[in-house]
Structure 1
């Protein structure tokens, strides 16, 4: 940077910079069943996210004795006023949608009653001492192909897995698991995620009429900085 403010810690990692925003936590809380006989969950943020670009929603389902399945995530709101998100359990055989979440954006919001704020040269708020930052912790893209079967509707369902230890303080990015994927036909691949706590395994599941076996979507995890 040519001028401005830059703060580094004792390992020379940039913590605050007057040119680039970090991933700032705007709202935290819990999600729980609200509709669809306990399968669907609509959650409203503690405060709206005012970024123009869609914010990132990270979730950590409650630990259960079996599988917590999540799918069909969508944000509620629009540019400058994102107010919540929806997520659904995989089906009635997986756990209901219960757990913790945080929503983050690459911009701060004026939350603190006192402390420090930092803007860039264009007036964008980059830092507010009332909004903690999140740190990306790891990502998985080396999925193992497990098997395929056929749904009752005659669609091909493919299972992919990766070993995972499900720490309590680590949350998974949900946005990319709410997006349909390209398939071999006009019907897109629907995407689902299973947290198999019993077997310490994270699953990704795709369903489509023409379902390719290749799968490279990353599962991205982050932690809220202390």
Structure 2
């Protein structure tokens, strides 16, 4: 940046400047079972998120033991009016969907009644002191293949794991685990995530008629 406003933190990392927005928290709260006999959860944002692209939703189960299986996430609404999100437990053998979330985007929202706001040269709002930043903490894709079994319908299911310590306050980006994956035939693979608190593992599961072993999807984490 050649001119304008710039803030750096104690590690000399730029946290605010007048050219680029950061990952801004646009909504936060909790999610809980609302339908499907406790398996499904629909959460409404406190206010509609007005970005054109869907917000990035980071979630964390509230459990400290057992397995929280999360899948089929989708952002609800439409471009310019995203109203909430849906997430589902893996099945009746995993914990119900309960926990905390925050939804982010690369655009600030004018919320603060007083404080500071910052716009770029095209009048895009870059910073509002009422919308805090999220901090990426880590990402990894060093999954280890564990085994393959079959679902009740006879479809191959692959398990991948990574040792994980679930530090307090850390939330995982769930959007990427909502997308079907490519397969080695005309059909896609379904993708699921297990938080194994008791075993200290994070699992990814893929289910598909032709289910190749290669798996490189990153898991991304952030904190408020």
TM bracket, shorter-chain basis: over 0.9
Q: Which runs of 5+ in 2 are unaligned?
A: none
Equivalent positions of 1:21-170 (< 5 A) are 21-170=21-170
User: Secondary structure of 2:110's match?
Assistant: coil
C-alpha distance in structure 2 between counterparts of 1:8 and 1:194, whole Å:
37
Question: SS state of the match for residue 177, structure 2?
Answer: helix
| Equivalent-residue separation in structure 1 for 2:79 and 2:121 (angstroms) | 22
The total of aligned residue pairs comes to 224
SS in 1 for 2:206: strand
Paired residue secondary structure (2:183): coil
| Paired position in structure 2 for 1:191 | 191
Deviation at 1:185, TM superposition (A): 1.3
3-state SS of 1:132 partner: coil
Counterpart secondary structure, 2:202: strand
Q: TM-score, normalised by structure 2?
A: 0.98
Q: Partner of 2:176 in structure 1?
A: 176
Give distance in 2, aligned partners of 1:109 and 1:11.
Answer: 27
Counterparts in 2 of 1:194-205, with a 5 A limit?
A: 194-205=194-205
* Residue 117 (structure 1) shift: 0.3
3-state SS of paired residue (1:182) = coil
* Aligned residue in 2 for 1:6: 6
Q: SS of the counterpart of 1:172?
A: strand
Deviation, structure 1 residue 64: 4.0
* CA distance, structure 2, for counterparts of residue 79 and residue 168 of structure 1: 33
Between the aligned partners of 2:65 and 2:128, the Cα distance in structure 1 is: 40
Deviation, 1:198, is 0.4
- Write the distance in 1 (CA, Å) between the matches of 2:67 and 2:96: 10
CA distance in 2 between counterparts of 1:82 and 1:168 reads 28
**How far is the alpha carbon of 1:10 from its aligned partner?**
2.6
Distance in 2 of aligned mates of 1:143 and 1:87: 23
Look up the match of 2:218: 218
Query: Aligned equivalents of 2:178 and 2:164: distance in 1?
Result: 21
* Contact 1:64/1:95 (<8 A) preserved: no
Q: What is the Cα deviation at residue 128 of structure 1?
A: 0.3
Cα distance in 2 for partners of 1:10, 1:150 equals 52
| Structure 1 stretches of 4+ moved >6 Å | none
Alpha-carbon separation, structure 2, partners of 1:153 and 1:10: 55
Shift in Å at residue 140 of structure 1?
1.5
The answer to whether the 8 A contact 1:60-1:168 is kept is no
Structure 1: gaps of 5 or more residues:
none
TM-score, normalised via structure 1 length: 0.97
